[in-house]
Amino acid sequence: MKKILLFSLIFVATSGWSAPSVNDLTLEEQIGQTIMPRVLVGEHKAFKKAVLAGQVTGFTVKTGEGLIRFPHLTPKKQAAYQKKQYKRLQKTIADLKKDYEGGTVTSPMFMGLKQMPSNMLLGAAHDDQVITDMYTAQALEVRKVGGNMVYGPVTDVNSNPLNPIIQTRSFGSSAEQVGHNAALAVRALEQNGVAAVNKHFPGHGDTSVDSHYEKPVTALDKDTLWKRHTSAFLPSVQAGVYGVMNSHVVFPALDNRHTASFSPRILQDLLRREMHFDGVIITDGLDMGALKDISVEEMVRQAYKAGNNILLLSGDVRNIKETKTYPQRAIGYVRESVLQVESGNVPAEKYVTRQEIEDSAARVLVLKEKLGLFTSSGAAVPKDTGFEQAAHRASEKGVTLVRNMAGVVPLKKSEQKICSVFFADAIFGKQLRAFDEYLVSRGKRIQAIYSPRTPSDKVASFARVCAQNADVLVLGTSRTSVMDERQETLVKELLEAAATNGQKTVLLSLLNPYEIPAYLQAKTVLALYGPTVDSMQVAAQILLGERKAQGKLPITW
């Protein structure tokens, strides 16, 4: 049976092969259908033996973090390198899964993929067609590089302003609207040949701890949790979403002993029986900090007993020698567990059983058949996926004029000298320059300062001089998990000094709109929900009066 698995995983377009039945697989191959490692682009060969042995069902694709991973390469050369490695990986195995988001998730940009606008920008557009078009284009882009599943759409309702992990990955703070938008995204993805996976069930939006590092707890009562968060997943389930990813969050009202990822009450009772989800349940990464100090074998045991069908069994990508052993460790443990249960040596309710493995493998095979992995590659992907048009339309509809109390927008023709000071990560350099370049193309004189999110004393000094000599001061702020204290202090100082001098100011909230209430001094505010070339150009057009802002805040403060 290994031969059929090999062809189904690597040569997904091979015709003439029928979908295998779970009964055609050995126990080891059944387990392999449920194991999904993370592979770092360029290091996929470490898992070659696991692929040939049928020990993995596919890969989650991850990339190195740009300048950190390749300090000797320019950003352009980094992208070229990653794209080359990605093609090599595609030749090895075409069953690829990935996070493909916008906003705070920037890793796809290192893999040569186009920058996806954030869900919150899409939510601010309040336009079903914008979401449908954007996720249709995303599906085609994913298929173009050989992928067939995305871990999205994020269906978390970002109700906590201090949430360190969801933020603009969410469509907004209303469960009803998030649920509606997520279902639109699911339909667009799956109608275009890509499996959608809603995450992070039953809702990661009311946490103040990042599960990548610690174990969050959401202490809402059951009714409130359903109304504000979990109900957002229901429209996607009813739309037939292929997969749901759970979260490493503890919800005491549902299960005070386990994270959702290891909770039968949450995954089997709530998701399966009450919500009638019949697709594939997927763990979040099992290497995340919320699960630290748990052995591979124990994670595997708890994950299967809770009702998971695919385990994102990954380790430290910097220690490939160890992490490449995880599939074999999982298979060895489960094989022994099944044999011990069947011999009567251990209780079935505490150890992994053959039936649990068969049920999971069967669900995975059904999913692969839906994606055409046993028959054909599906319709050809058009050269023009419509991505650029959809992304630009999303910005036109989503960029939001939150405040214009001083009537700064639109600028007067006489206001020629503009000082722009942007605080953002280096990866957004091209996007930020698009704002200034557009103003220059319209005859404005620009002095631009680009600073990391934490400004240095030198940057602060330059910014003060720049601001004093300008007709209009534009400040671009970036809040991520927390407010950067040095950035916040400098921005407030510049706003107050401008007010004293009678200068006009504009605040561009580049990333997280939950920062806006902190800047009461800012009388004119635009929310971009993530800097893209399109959103920066649209912001410039709004500032000049060439375009009216159409977006509406999808969150409440």
pLDDT single digits (tens) 74-89: 445 544 555 555 555 5
Residue 441 vs residues 395, 446, 469, 540: alpha-carbon distances, Å? 20, 10, 21, 11
The predicted pLDDT at position 70 comes to: 39
Distance from C-alpha of 91 to C-alpha of 10, rounded to nearest angstrom: 8
67 band by pLDDT with thresholds 50, 70 and 90: very low
Distance from C-alpha of 282 to C-alpha of 288, rounded to nearest angstrom: 14
Kindly state whether residue 290 falls inside one of the protein's structural domains: yes
122: pLDDT strictly greater than 70: yes
Which structural domain range is residue 498 located in? 399-544
Examine the domain organization and report whether 151 and 262 are in the same domain: yes
Examine the domain organization and report whether 312 and 409 are in the same domain: no
Helices (H), 420-517: 429-441, 457-468, 485-501
Q: What is the mean pLDDT of residues 250-254?
A: 96
Encode pLDDT of 506-528 as tens digits. Answer: 999 999 999 999 999 999 999 99
Residue 232 sits at φ, ψ, to 5 deg, of -65, -20
CATH code where residue 119 lies: 3.20.20.300
Q: What is the mean pLDDT of residues 280-301?
A: 82
User: How many Cβ atoms sit within 10 Å of the Cβ of residue 222?
Assistant: 13
The count of domains in the chain is 2
164 band by pLDDT with thresholds 50, 70 and 90: confident
Listed residues 301, 331, 361: the one ending a domain:
331
367: pLDDT strictly greater than 80: yes
Average pLDDT score, the chain? 86
Kindly state whether residue 37 falls inside one of the protein's structural domains: no
Examine the domain organization and report whether 307 and 405 are in the same domain: no
Least confident of 81-85, 113-117, 306-310, 544-548: 81-85
Examine the domain organization and report whether 63 and 141 are in the same domain: yes
Q: What is the mean pLDDT of residues 230-249?
A: 97
Least confident of 33-37, 68-72, 277-281, 351-355: 68-72
Computed on alpha carbons and rounded to an integer, the radius of gyration of the chain in Å comes to 25
- Which residues fall within 8 angstroms of residue 45, CB to CB, at 6 or more apart? 92
Examine the domain organization and report whether 413 and 327 are in the same domain: no
Examine the domain organization and report whether 252 and 105 are in the same domain: yes
Kindly state whether residue 427 falls inside one of the protein's structural domains: yes
Listed residues 331, 359, 390: the one ending a domain:
331
Kindly state whether residue 254 falls inside one of the protein's structural domains: yes
Examine the domain organization and report whether 305 and 178 are in the same domain: yes
Residue 147 sits at φ, ψ, to 5 deg, of -85, 165
Kindly state whether residue 30 falls inside one of the protein's structural domains: no
94: pLDDT strictly greater than 50: no
Q: Quick one: angle between helices 533-544 and 429-441, nearest 10?
A: 30
Examine the domain organization and report whether 63 and 209 are in the same domain: yes
Whether the CB-CB separation of 480 and 498 falls below 8 Å is answered with: no
Examine the domain organization and report whether 245 and 156 are in the same domain: yes
CATH code where residue 421 lies: 3.40.50.1700
Examine the domain organization and report whether 141 and 288 are in the same domain: yes
2 band by pLDDT with thresholds 50, 70 and 90: very low
- What burial letters (b/e) apply to 458-478, b meaning 16+ CB within 10 Å? ebbebbeebbeebbbbbbbbb
Distance from C-alpha of 14 to C-alpha of 376, rounded to nearest angstrom: 6
The predicted pLDDT at position 323 comes to: 77
Whether the CB-CB separation of 202 and 267 falls below 8 Å is answered with: no
Q: Take residue 308 and report the two structure tokens written for it.
A: 């998971």
Kindly state whether residue 350 falls inside one of the protein's structural domains: no
350: pLDDT strictly greater than 90: yes
Question: Comparing 78 with 153, which gets the higher pLDDT?
Answer: 153
DSSP per-residue codes, 266-316:
IIIIIIIIIT---SEEE---TTSGGGTT--HHHHHHHHHHHT-SBB-----
Examine the domain organization and report whether 174 and 254 are in the same domain: yes
Kindly state whether residue 340 falls inside one of the protein's structural domains: no
Examine the domain organization and report whether 323 and 403 are in the same domain: no
Distance from C-alpha of 326 to C-alpha of 104, rounded to nearest angstrom: 29
Least confident of 45-49, 130-134, 190-194, 262-266: 45-49
The predicted pLDDT at position 44 comes to: 66
378: pLDDT strictly greater than 60: yes
DSSP per-residue codes, 111-175:
TTPPPPPPHHHHHHHT-HHHHHHHHHHHHHHHHHTTEEEES--B------TT-SS-GGGSS-S-H
Percentage of the chain beyond pLDDT 90 is 66
Kindly state whether residue 195 falls inside one of the protein's structural domains: yes
Q: Please, what sign has the CA dihedral across residues 121, 124, 127, 128? A: positive
- Which residues fall within 8 angstroms of residue 193, CB to CB, at 6 or more apart? 139, 143, 148, 371, 372, 378, 379
pTM assigned to the model: 0.89
322: pLDDT strictly greater than 60: yes
Regarding beta strands 504-509 and 472-477, do their DSSP bridges make them parallel or antiparallel, or are they unpaired?
parallel
Q: What is the mean pLDDT of residues 357-378?
A: 87
Listed residues 274, 306, 331: the one ending a domain:
331
